[in-house]
Structure 1
Amino acid sequence: MTPMLEQYLRLKGEHPGALLFYRMGDFYEMFFEDAETAARELQLTLTSRNPEAENPVPMCGVPHQAVEGYLAQLLEKGFKVAVCDQIEDPKQAKGLVKRAVTRVLTPGTAVEEGNLRAKEHNFLAALYFDADERAGGLAWVDFSTGEWSGLFARDAARLWQWAAKIGPRELLLPDGLEPPRDFAREGMQISRFPLRPHFDLTSGRDKVLKAQGVADLAALDVGDKPQLVRAMGALLTYLASNQMRDIGHLAPFKPVNLGRHMLIDEVTERNLEIFRRLDGRKGQGTLWHVLDRTVTPMGGRLLESWLRQPWLDLAPILETQDAVAWLAGDEERRRALREALAGVYDLERLTTRIFLNRAAPRDFTALRQSLAALPRLRALAAASAEPPKAATDLLSGWDDLDDACELLSRALVDSPPVLVTEGGLFKPGYNPDLDELMELTEHGEERIRQLLAEEREGCKLPKLKLGYNRVFGYYFELSKSAGYPPEHFERRQTLANCERYVTPRLKELEEKLMAAGEKRKTLEYNLFVALRDHIAALRDRIMDTAARVARLDVWQGLAEAAVANDWTRPELRPDLDIRIRAGRHPVIEAVQGVGNYIPNDVTLDEATRVLLITGPNMAGKSTVLRQTAIIALLAQIGSFVPATKAEIGLVDRVFCRVGASDNLAQGQSTFMVEMMETARILRQAGRRSLVILDEIGRGTATFDGLALAWAVVEDLCGRDDGQGVRTLFATHYHELTALEGRLPRLRNANIAVKEWKGDIVFLRRLLPGPADRSYGVEVARLAGVPRNVVRRARQLLEELERSRDPAHAARGSRERGQPILPGLFGVSAPSREEPQETAASPLLDELSRLELDRITPLEALTLLTDWKARFGGDASQGD
């Protein structure tokens, strides 16, 4: 075991969960198991430190100048990496060079551009819940920007919902706390730590106070939330241990105020396909793909935050609408803004890297270019006779950062090298001492030749020559016949035909020339550090300007989307009514084209709180449901919406349950997932909620599903003292359409279809009233089911519809313990005032003659179909 390997193993032991990148000269090397892992994951050649030994040590490495690309690959795959650097100059080291781990990189603490997605937050989160106190906290931070926030709740389920919603790259948990079985953790690395020191309340309080520079936790609105303080302390402990330094760039902590924002849980976010499609992929097919017209990374992240937490207060919504309308009506200003914004890089992350001493020279030139665009942006925002209030507020306190831009312009060359240590960073004229060294390194040979010319002329020695070798360095050479050397010439070497001399000026110039290269690199590095410290001290100013640029970018992006897609400004109202005229689903319209999309009207008002929508599969029920929720969401971020006219009563929470999926890995069937999502809605929906439900009860037996759907509709209609919850409820249970008139504020609607020459045509129009049929067999034919199967299905359907055998009516229901629901087939349940025997009807006569012990399920279904056809009207009138 060599001293070097002993040093490696000692450092590895201090960071057992990380791959150790060990600096050796121009390479970062890995050994033992780390080498095998890195070689496999990075496709590197696995070699050996001592190939001839009995037990060779596996080894692989990467060049130090290319290390960031390899680190990015490992972080993307969820690895933790400890970077070990040489902390003393190898030239001055006595024995083994001292090394130390200078930083630990994890997916949730990355700041380098290659490890981050430009328009997405990169969150690190910590969750703590005290079962005895029945309270907990979730805190999260984007280390690359310094933004951090948190949530206190007395319901553990809400904390886990938010953890899934924000989707952190890393989630820190205390030992013993396990996520629920349905927790969505895809792409999330979960790490567990003991309560002390990570989740300790006392140390956490001290760290939070120090990091925020406050004397009392009440200043952060967490004084009465110790569980949230524990989560915040865990984040700070983790960051300090990984970064090897105090964390001083975090912004003021802003806890989530649920009363100020619309709440969209992770299930609704997924079902509405806001950021990802239902298959988990990004890009086309998502609302984000249609809506995002931002130019800068800061603007993209701000829009993402607005979409995750739309406003519930009218004031910021209306101010944003005014700003969007202002830019939507001025195409020239909008175009010029987009051109100016194109020159702005990620100010927030650039400043963070500079503050953390992790910036490369090119980060500073990117910052310089960004700052140069600020005056143009300010002028475009200000050049208006009647700017909206939001624009006036934006310009109030705007900082062009002229001093920083001037300094960077004067200091740095246009194309600096990749590494600080290479030199060549600064322009001539920035520093006098550096100018002299630059002159020597770039024009040193010319200076020496100039000295030769001076000696020839001054000493009258026209045959004087200049030479150089590695032993003596530079020298003057004079042949014995060329003349006598002057007094200031010092003999250095005698040859057969000539003498070699040096002069004080030649030696001085040579020393300067030989040392100039190293001195220049050292001076440039020191100047770079000073420049970095100066810019880091301006962080607060730069971050404030970045936030203003982001808002301006979001406004123009929303305006650009509104104009490109022909959207209109919605009216936000404090009441509960929702009226949408010619509404469209923006994502489907973008895919199909404007001319191919059929718009629809949706009204939820005092008379209609629950809209029961029927119609065949593929007709567009789910589209109408989701477009309503999306229009409400867009309206409450201040965006225009895809409709001719929209009046939106403020929504505090959107619930969306659509589609069917299972979670076999966690032992949850399709129906179980459906019921869990339905249970969440029924337990949490309130007066201002908007509920989107599609096909409740389809995953179980017919009567079970019908009974559940019926009960859910009744519950939603009866909420809020009979006022009901705003709900769009799509179903194939046509029996539920009989509830109109029986349940208050429930109305039927259907997606129209038309039969034409044996085929069906989807009209995609939402019309009042119930659908008459489900057209399931026709849809199966359109889906490509073989003709013989479709033909046989039609025959069976005709037989079932013609069947009128009452002898087996309700036996199947009784055998399964499934009661016939009152009022389901046109027979109302007897009232308390009316004796039961007065409710006699032909249907009840047939029921009384049934032989229940002999009926089969298929016969029962056939009989129910028959009864529906014959007794669909007033049962007392019979046929």
Structure 2
Amino acid sequence: MSEPTFKMTPMFEHYMSIKADYPDALLFYRMGDFYELFFSDAEVAARELQITLTSRSRDVQNPIPMCGVPWHAVDAYVAQLVDKGYHIAICDQIEDPKTAKGLVKRAVTCVKTPGTVLDDANLNTKSHNYLGALCPGADSEGGGFAWVDVSTGQWSGVDFKRQAELWQWVQKMAPRELLVPEGLQPPPRTLLEGVRLVRQPVSLFDLKRATERVLTAQGVREAGALGLAGHNEIMRACGALLAYLTQTQMRDPEHLKPFQRLDLSRRLMVDEVTERNLEIFTRLNGRKGKGTLRHVLDDTMTPMGGRLLEDMLRHPWREASPITRIQDAVAWFYDDDGRRAALREALKSVYDMERLSTRISLNQGSPRDFIALRNSLAALPQVQAALSDSSVASILQRPDQDGDATQIGGAAVEAPRAVADILKTWDAMEDCTALLQSALVDSPPPVITDGGLFKSGYNAELDRLLDLAEHGEQKLQAMLAEEQTTTGIAKLKLGYNRVFGYYFEVTRAAHSGTVPYHFIRRQSLANAERFTTEALKSLEEELLSASDKRKSLEYSLFQDLRQHMAQQRERITHMAQLIANLDYWQSLAQVGRINSWCRPELTADANLNIREGRHPVVEAMLGRANFVPNDFRLEDKRRLCLLTGPNMAGKSTVLRQVAIICLLAQMGSMVPATSAKLGLVDRLFSRVGASDNLAQGQSTFMVEMMETARILRQATRRSLIILDEIGRGTSTYDGVALAWAMVEDLAKRAQAELRTLFATHYHELTALEGRVDGVFTMNIAISEYSGDILFLHKLVPGPADRSYGVEVARLAGVPGPVVQRARAILANLERGRDVARKAVVSAVCLPGLDLPETKVKETDDLPYLQAAPPRADHPVVELLRDMQPEELSPLDALKTLMEWKKLWGGSSAGLSAQPSGSQNDAGEEENRG
């Protein structure tokens, strides 16, 4: 912002001094009943908020741009700007204008940013809002990444030895803001969608200072207590987060929960590419909601349960113990419809206890936040009762081992270990509920300075002031009646004016004698005298000050109540976590029950056995009656499935549903199948769909190869990989060669334990079945009748005979002449394929093509695979072999030649070779083997 050229007033000097400290923020400067913005800030705000841009200066030549919003509506305007990525500095009046001498003192009380907002207007109820910090390693390799949800106080972090994986995790967690040291640039081709980089001084990441900040904020003496011993990069990132929060919130972030480093060795790793390809949170077009796995799974009743579901979808467990613990709880609710319905009904009254507690702790809670918290705490007994078989609270008497009973109202009821542990630590918080119920009215005003917050009976002095404010006129009339009786002046009147206040008036006609001694003369009129009394003056002072005193007292009482509830934050967040777990379990049970899912069995081996598996999202869209379930098995000698079949048959659906079933199982969820026996997965990889990144110069094929390269580098022996149409973005032979080599590599990895589903249109690859250990083929069945095809969506053993690409094009609505021409060209290409292949293959044989049998030539690196067996002879060859030329007359020989010409002669186009560089960008070219 350029320096103004005019002589500045004291107000503008103060404004400019504050703005200098916040150059990157829009400064909302409180002036009376408005927040004003000036100069370039005003121009930006007026444009973004669509409000009027005016001018402050009278100088027509150099006007000062200005705009403003009412102070009571500022939150709505700030929310709009924060959603658009702006930082907002709120400059408030910090002293009472009535008592101020000269310029009212002002100061910035908070800075609102996309990653630190607390208002519901800027937050998705069931999703986290992360602020992240990334700290590279000292050797520029690897580093640490930490993230915090300021609205809930939850924070965590991870570290990696390679920066590529570090940035992958940033893309996965997608913080609204990412703090990075000055000078640090994301690696090439890193696409941070929706992430705003906030560059900070390198000193903010200093290890010593960061450690001091973290230990102080967490109230511990050593890093080991937080699991950060030896994790210096995470510690530095955490220190940067705390420093940034202190700068923006203008106070120490004491509301943060204990830091918990995310132990990736205990979690199923699902990278951001796989999340996108499986449509876990967003569809492939980037939209959320219907059509995503989360939408199908989310039947939670509370915001806390919804956020826990999001966490579990991002990183499920990979250990059997915590998974089984969740499964037991889910099964308990699954089997008891009445208990689950009672719990869901009780949870309807529970609001976002985590975020309510945070706002209250940071002194940003409104009176309505307290009412929402009160209603939530009042619902806790109903939630507890829903876990029992009676209407009374549960009394838990349970040893540590599993299988014992929970004692409830004298009756023994089996409860899973997870539910029993919740009941052990249950805190109904009756004291807080009673306090809030006795203190606050049911419908308080939105602003605490307006008064009207508290019920009568909560505070004696407040009751007295309320009585004065509400019944002042009655008290004045009662005093008048008393004076009339005492003095005997029946026509004594009570009046009021701004000069003398309240007074008693005695007309000369009504009373001509002396007035009582306690009457104090205030004013003489022509026909009347006006008096006051000590009692009247005292009542007058009380009445005139009652309203202000009441508001001041209510504000003080509200601050005391806020401080008391802020001290209960640990209890509130503990109960919020218990509610989140219960809500998460019942949601999985509800979805499983409605959709008839089953509980999967988890095993220590690497086998997968799914009976009548279904894709939960596709089934939800089509209806169960329209979805064809499929069986699928991976075993010791069947680790890599080559899946073939035409487009639209359902190959991608089968791939995704196997991956989703494994992911659901490791969340503790029921799965869409009749039965499932699954070996635990440590990493889940997916490469499906066609996409590009033209903005960074990456073609569809480049993106495909980059994602495939990541899989080949990072896959472990317990990973599950699904690949769809690898190699389709280049020429036919390049694609076949790449796909072939990848199949060989994946089949031989990790002592042949790596689990892979590989969908392809390259039928040449099916020749690997029986040649490479662990490779087997399956296809999606179709039915042909009178030239039409019917997709059966049924998974059957063996390879597909052909791809039916032309038929699929016809079904898609491609014009008839184009389809007919395509059929003719395809017939010619099929007749001429042998000639074409021989024309383009020279010294090295392309695996899978129909060439004469060759021997295997061993080299130090990799053997050339033997070519596929030769096809059956052409009918002409068979006829020639059986023919006896010496017995044919010249006429018979001519007739035979004419028949052969008619049957197999064709045109010269039928013998033309297919160009070796033909493109297969769409991934659907038919390759006949």
TM class by shorter-chain length?
over 0.9
CA distance 1:553–1:868, shift in 2 (3 Å): closer
1:764 equivalent to 2:793? Answer yes
* Partner SS for 1:429: coil
1:747 equivalent to 2:772? Answer no
How much does 1:739 deviate? 0.4
Distance in 1 of aligned mates of 2:230 and 2:853? 55
Match of 1:640 in 2: 670
How much does 1:801 deviate? 2.2
Q: 1:729 aligns with which of 758, 770, 773?
A: 758
How much does 1:446 deviate? 1.0
Match of 1:435 in 2: 463
Letter in 2 for 1:703: Y
How much does 1:219 deviate? 1.5
Distance in 2 of aligned mates of 1:840 and 1:239? 66
1:472 equivalent to 2:472? Answer no
Letter in 1 for 2:144: G
Q: 2:378 aligns with which of 364, 372, 375?
A: 372
Match of 2:902 in 1: none
How much does 1:42 deviate? 0.8
Match of 2:191 in 1: 184
Match of 2:432 in 1: 404
**CA deviation string 1:11-66 (max 9, x = no partner):** 11110000001111111111111111011111111111125542111111111111
Asked whether the 8 Å contact 1:736–1:824 carries over to 2, the reply is no
Letter in 2 for 1:202: K
Match of 1:705 in 2: 735
Asked whether the 8 Å contact 1:810–1:860 carries over to 2, the reply is no
* Partner SS for 1:771: coil
Asked whether the 8 Å contact 1:22–1:30 carries over to 2, the reply is yes
Match of 1:2 in 2: 9
1:662 equivalent to 2:692? Answer yes
CA distance 1:826–1:637, shift in 2 (3 Å): farther
Matches within 5 A, 1:46-445: 46-130=53-137, 132=139, 134-196=141-203, 198-383=204-389, 385-445=413-473
CA distance 1:565–1:534, shift in 2 (3 Å): same
Letter in 1 for 2:828: E
Q: 2:50 aligns with which of 36, 43, 60?
A: 43
Q: 1:555 aligns with which of 568, 580, 585?
A: 585
Letter in 1 for 2:104: V
Aligned-residue sequence identity (percent) comes to: 59
How much does 1:180 deviate? 2.1
Asked whether the 8 Å contact 1:275–1:282 carries over to 2, the reply is yes
How much does 1:788 deviate? 1.1
Asked whether the 8 Å contact 2:450–2:551 carries over to 1, the reply is yes
How much does 1:548 deviate? 0.2
Distance in 1 of aligned mates of 2:632 and 2:91? 62
CA distance 1:474–1:325, shift in 2 (3 Å): same
How much does 1:75 deviate? 0.9
Letter in 1 for 2:709: A
* Partner SS for 1:590: helix
Q: 2:521 aligns with which of 487, 491, 497?
A: 491
Q: 1:774 aligns with which of 778, 784, 803?
A: 803
Distance in 2 of aligned mates of 1:446 and 1:298? 51
Asked whether the 8 Å contact 2:847–2:867 carries over to 1, the reply is no
Distance in 2 of aligned mates of 1:43 and 1:860? 59
Which stretches in structure 1 are left out of the alignment for 5+ residues? 847-854, 873-879
Asked whether the 8 Å contact 1:738–1:824 carries over to 2, the reply is no
How much does 1:396 deviate? 0.8
CA distance 1:860–1:183, shift in 2 (3 Å): closer
Letter in 2 for 1:112: D
* Partner SS for 2:387: helix
Match of 2:655 in 1: 625
* Partner SS for 2:695: helix
Q: 2:850 aligns with which of 817, 820, 825?
A: 825
* Partner SS for 1:467: strand
**CA deviation string 1:228-254 (max 9, x = no partner):** 111111111111111111111111111
CA distance 1:459–1:630, shift in 2 (3 Å): same
* Partner SS for 1:491: strand
Match of 1:791 in 2: 820
Asked whether the 8 Å contact 2:159–2:233 carries over to 1, the reply is yes
Please report the TM-score for the alignment, with normalisation by the length of structure 2. Answer: 0.89
Letter in 1 for 2:427: D
Asked whether the 8 Å contact 2:43–2:53 carries over to 1, the reply is yes
Asked whether the 8 Å contact 1:347–1:367 carries over to 2, the reply is yes
**CA deviation string 1:777-830 (max 9, x = no partner):** 111111121111111101111222233774x6533345xxx9432454376651
* Partner SS for 2:667: coil
Distance in 2 of aligned mates of 1:572 and 1:788? 54
Asked whether the 8 Å contact 2:853–2:869 carries over to 1, the reply is no
* Partner SS for 1:317: helix
* Partner SS for 1:107: coil
Asked whether the 8 Å contact 1:580–1:646 carries over to 2, the reply is yes
Distance in 2 of aligned mates of 1:170 and 1:557? 31
Match of 1:515 in 2: 545
Asked whether the 8 Å contact 1:777–1:793 carries over to 2, the reply is yes
Distance in 2 of aligned mates of 1:841 and 1:764? 31
Asked whether the 8 Å contact 1:813–1:860 carries over to 2, the reply is no
Distance in 2 of aligned mates of 1:58 and 1:859? 67
* Partner SS for 1:254: coil
Asked whether the 8 Å contact 2:833–2:913 carries over to 1, the reply is no
CA distance 1:136–1:859, shift in 2 (3 Å): closer
Distance in 2 of aligned mates of 1:739 and 1:344? 58
Distance in 1 of aligned mates of 2:46 and 2:289? 32
Asked whether the 8 Å contact 2:91–2:106 carries over to 1, the reply is yes
Asked whether the 8 Å contact 1:333–1:380 carries over to 2, the reply is yes
Distance in 2 of aligned mates of 1:189 and 1:727? 36
Match of 1:849 in 2: none
Distance in 2 of aligned mates of 1:99 and 1:839? 84
Distance in 2 of aligned mates of 1:503 and 1:184? 80
Distance in 1 of aligned mates of 2:837 and 2:810? 31
Distance in 1 of aligned mates of 2:832 and 2:731? 22
Distance in 2 of aligned mates of 1:588 and 1:288? 13
Distance in 1 of aligned mates of 2:855 and 2:615? 44
Asked whether the 8 Å contact 1:629–1:654 carries over to 2, the reply is yes
1:609 equivalent to 2:615? Answer no
* Partner SS for 1:94: coil
Asked whether the 8 Å contact 2:146–2:234 carries over to 1, the reply is yes
Q: 1:16 aligns with which of 16, 20, 23?
A: 23
* Partner SS for 1:506: helix
1:460 equivalent to 2:467? Answer no
Asked whether the 8 Å contact 1:621–1:730 carries over to 2, the reply is yes
Count of equivalent residues: 851
